[in-house]
Structure 1
Amino acid sequence: MHLESNFADLGSGFSSKTTIRPLHEQRLVEFNQTLASFLSIDIKHPETKDLLCGNVPISHSVSMVYAGHQFGGFSPQLGDGRGVLLGEVRGQDKNLYDLHMKGAGLTPYSRRGDGRAVLRSSIREYLASEAMHALGVPSSRALALYDSREAVYREQPEKGAMLLRVANGHIRFGHFEYFFYQGKTEELDQLIEYCLKHYYSQFLSSETPLKSMLIEVVERTARMIAKWQAIGFQHGVMNTDNFSFTGETIDYGPYGFMDDYDPAWVCNHSDYEGRYAFERQPGVGLWNLNCLMRCFSKHLSKDELVDILKHYEPELQSHYDELMAAKLGLYKTEKLHALLSFLFTILQSEKMDYSVFFRLLSKLEENTFSLILDEVIDRERMRAWLLEYCVERSKQKASWQDVSLAMLQVNPKYILRNYLAHDVIVAAENGDFLPFRRLLKVLTSPFDEHEESETLAQRPPEWGKSLEVSCSS
């Protein structure tokens, strides 16, 4: 494994030197071999093994400093309170990828925390990041999971753990906010150049490289959130320090995948005001981007920054429309918005499971509605929608069967429901990781049938719908 130190080489103004502090009796319990092969990492190599688990310190590993708007309030200095950037490795595509260990111990930015992660939250992040990747959502990835016999105290003692994450980059909107509001103009310029060189080099030859880069950031963020909305995913903590400058979903905590359709759903029980509710995510994305644009007010005019932000809404809407049209199997229709509006009204009143509905719709036979009607109370209203839908579906050039097959490849059978995560966490805390691996298998190929794991596709029990997750999750 060849580790580079590009970010660390920016100097002490951007990070502090830190190393992994191994947990007591820690052990490697899961390793993503497919991702490791892509990154040319051989976990069986003794030197690599010692470096990744912290037995041998990495000389250039660091914890990053940044700021952030958290639930609307600005925190002028945050940083990696429990994370260590080990360095960058080059993938088979020749691009660089960050290796970042979460739960690695105290750092200069831990504030009053212990710098640790617990097995519960580490499993949730491992599963979520791999599930999102399989669903086609840009995301950090999980490379390795370590558990231990070390007690970490949250609401109660829990098993300490570490999660090794991979991403295109871990630079957040909050990095730019930190340097801008601290008045560190030289460092801000360095960070801009770093991002242009390492993440957006295609714009280096542009007449306006900064503006071109920022437009791409806006559009990537818009497409990411459009994907969240299409699959029914809620992040839960959309603070600017949790938003990636490379347009990836990062920092999985009190997230959720929607069960019963409810646009006002709030998955994070720490979000008392519903700031990050499902239906508010597109607006929060724009709010965060507005915070980001302020950091370039000395580089670009107000009109230029406003023009950049104007790319957000049309990009999000067009991508969302494209995704929802594919979920419905309607590739050319002028009635998409009307059909969706009518459908969502029905789904909400029926408390219909979001993912189950679209999977059933994918299997619907032409003009045979019982598969759907048997799931609802108001059969006539659903029949009215299905009749309108079938009229539009009949206009597609492909056959009904071919469209259904295509729909099955975009409407997952398996999603990461909270009760499923809860069950595998309970088993893992008791030393049994088999349920975790069984769930991981279906989540990494969520469109396949996996008949041997049919129970993992079932609707949640009532107790599973009311599970609470919070910022400690």
Structure 2
Amino acid sequence: MNLEHHFASLGEAFSSKTLIQPLHEQRLVEFNQSLATFLSIDIKSTETKRILSGEEPLPSSLSMVYAGHQFGGFSPQLGDGRGVLLGEVRGLDGLLYDLHMKGAGPTPYSRRGDGRAVLRSCIREYLASEAMVALSVPSSRALALYDSREAVYRETPEAGAMLLRTSQGHIRFGHFEYFFSQGKQEELDQLIEYCLKHYYPDSLKSESPLEDMLTEVVKRTARMVAKWQSVGFQHGVMNTDNFSFTGETIDYGPYGFMEDYEPNWVCNHSDHEGRYAFSRQPGVGLWNLNCLMRCFSKHLERDQLIAILQCYEPELQSHYDVLMMQKMGLSSVEVLHELLPPLLLILTAEKMDYTIFFRLLSHLEKDNFNPLLDEVVDRQRLSQWLKRYQSARLSESTNWEQAGHEMLQANPKFVLRNYLAHEVILAAEHGDYLPFRRLLNVLNQPFNEHPESNALAQRAPDWGKSLEVSCSS
């Protein structure tokens, strides 16, 4: 494993040296071999095993410092309270990827916390990040999962665990807020140069590199949120310290994949005011970008920053339109805008399962609406919509079957339902990781039929709908 240490070279103002503190009777229970191959990491190497487990200290490993707006309130200093950046490795695409260990023990930014993670949260992040990548949503990824016999105390004692994750970068909006709020202009300039060099090198060719980079950050964020909305994903904690400067989904905690369609759904039971409700995510994305742009008020004029922010809404809307057209087998934005709003009203009224509906729509046969009508109470209302939909599709495409096949590649059969994650966690806590691997297998290929795993595509049972996730997740 060829570790590089570019972020560490920025100096002490950006981080604190921190070592992994191995857990008691820690063991490697899952390793992402395809990702490891892409990153040229040989897990069979004794040295690699010792480095990743923390048995061999890395002098350049560190925890990052940053600030952030948390549920709307500004916290001037946060940081990696339970994470350690081991360094960067180069992928087969030539790009650098961070290796970041979650649950590695106390850091200078733990704020009276124990710096640990529990098996429950590590499994949830492993499954979610890999599921998101398979759905073509930009995301951090899981490389390795460690469990242990060490007790970690949350509401009750739980099994301690560590998760090794990767991403193009762990620099957050909050990094820029930290240095800007403290008036540390030199460090802010250093961070800008670092991001231009490592994440946005094409912007260096522009006449205004900073403007070009920030415009791309806005557009990447817009596309990421549009993809969240299209697949029914809710992040749960859209604080600025949880938003990546590289436009990747990071920091999976109380997330959720929508089951019964509900625009105002709140997956995080710690979010008492519904600040991060599903329908509010696009607006929060823009709010967070506003916070980010303030950090460059001494580098660019106000009009320049406003112009950059104005790229957000059209980028999000156009990308969302494309994604929804793919889900519905349409090619006209005008037709989409006629059909989608009344459909979402029907889904809301019927509490229709979001994923199952669009999968059934992909299988729809001409003039045979019964498979979908059998799912609703108001058959007449949905039937009228389906007639309009069928007419629109037929007017746009002469090959109904081909359009349906393409829809099957846009509408997954499998998503990470909360009750499925719960069942997997219970089994793992008793030492059985087979359910975890079975679920991971279908989440890695969510558009395939996997007939042997049909049970994993079913709606949640009644008990599964009442499960709660919170910031402790």
TM range (shorter): over 0.9
The alignment status of 1:388 with 2:385, answered yes or no, reads no
Match of 2:54 in 1: 54
Whole-angstrom distance in 1 between the partners of 2:338 and 2:280: 21
CA contact under 8 A between 2:62 and 2:85: conserved in structure 1? yes
CA distance in 2, matches of 1:95, 1:472: 33
- Aligned pair 1:274/2:274, yes or no? yes
Of stretches 92-101 and 391-400 in structure 1, the one that deviates more from structure 2 is 391-400
**Quick one: which amino acid aligns to residue 194 of structure 1?**
Y
- Residue matched to 2:461: 461
How do residues 112-261 of structure 1 correspond to structure 2 at under 5 angstroms? 112-261=112-261
- Equivalent-residue separation in structure 1 for 2:243 and 2:338 (angstroms): 32
1:29 aligned partner: 29
Partners in 2 of 1:370 and 1:453 — Cα distance?
A: 24
- Whether 1:20 and 2:20 are equivalent positions in the alignment is yes
The CA distance in 2 between the partners of 1:298 and 1:424, in whole Å, is 50
Match of 2:68 in 1: 68
TM-score, normalised to structure 2, is 1.00
AA aligned to 1:464 is G
Give the counterpart letter for 2:52 in structure 1: L
1:3 corresponds to 2:3: yes
TM-score (norm 1): 1.00
- In the alignment, what sits opposite 2:96? 96
User: Is the partner of 1:432 in helix, strand or coil?
Assistant: coil
What residue is the counterpart of 1:314 in the other structure?
314
Task: Return the alpha-carbon distance in structure 1 between the equivalents of residues 64 and 340 of structure 2.
Answer: 43
1:332 CA drift (Å): 2.4
Q: Following superposition, which runs of at least 4 residues in structure 1 exceed 3 angstroms of deviation?
A: none
Kindly provide the CA deviation profile for residues 245-297 of structure 1, in whole angstroms up to 9, marking residues without a partner as x: 00000000000000100000000000000000000000000000000000000
Whole-Å Cα distance in 1 between the matches of residues 440 and 355 of structure 2?
A: 18
Task: Quote the sequence identity (%).
Answer: 74
For residue 107 of structure 1, what is the aligned residue in structure 2? 107
Q: How does 1:292-307 map to 2 (within 5 A)?
A: 292-307=292-307
Q: Secondary structure at the match of 1:335?
A: helix
Residues 259 and 465 of structure 1 are in contact (CA less than 8 Å); yes or no, is this contact kept in structure 2?
A: no
SS at match of 1:78: coil
CA distance in 1 between counterparts of 2:328 and 2:262 reads 19
User: 1:333–1:392: 8 Å Cα contact kept in structure 2?
Assistant: no
Tell me which amino acid in the other structure corresponds to 2:299: H
CA contact (8 A) 2:321 2:333 kept: no
Letter in 1 for 2:404: S
Q: State the alpha-carbon separation in 2 of the partners of residues 375 and 468 from structure 1.
A: 26
Name the CA shift for 1:393/1:180 in 2 (closer, same or farther; >3 Å): same
- Alignment-mate amino acid for residue 416 of structure 1: L
- Counterpart of 2:284? 284
For residues 459 and 106 of structure 1, the distance between their equivalents in structure 2, rounded to whole angstroms, comes to 39
* Residue aligning to 2:80: 80
User: How much has 1:398 moved relative to structure 2?
Assistant: 4.8
Q: Which amino acid in 1 is paired with 2:450?
A: H
**1:305–1:333 Cα change, 3 Å:** closer
Q: Whole-Å Cα distance in 1 between the matches of residues 395 and 191 of structure 2?
A: 51
Q: CA deviation at 1:395?
A: 1.8
**Corresponding residue SS for 1:146:** strand
Question: Higher mean Cα deviation, 397-406 or 419-428?
Answer: 397-406
Alpha-carbon offset, residue 325 of structure 1:
0.5
Partner SS state of residue 159, structure 1: strand
Once the 2 structures are TM-superposed, how far is the Cα of residue 59 of structure 1 from its aligned partner? 1.2
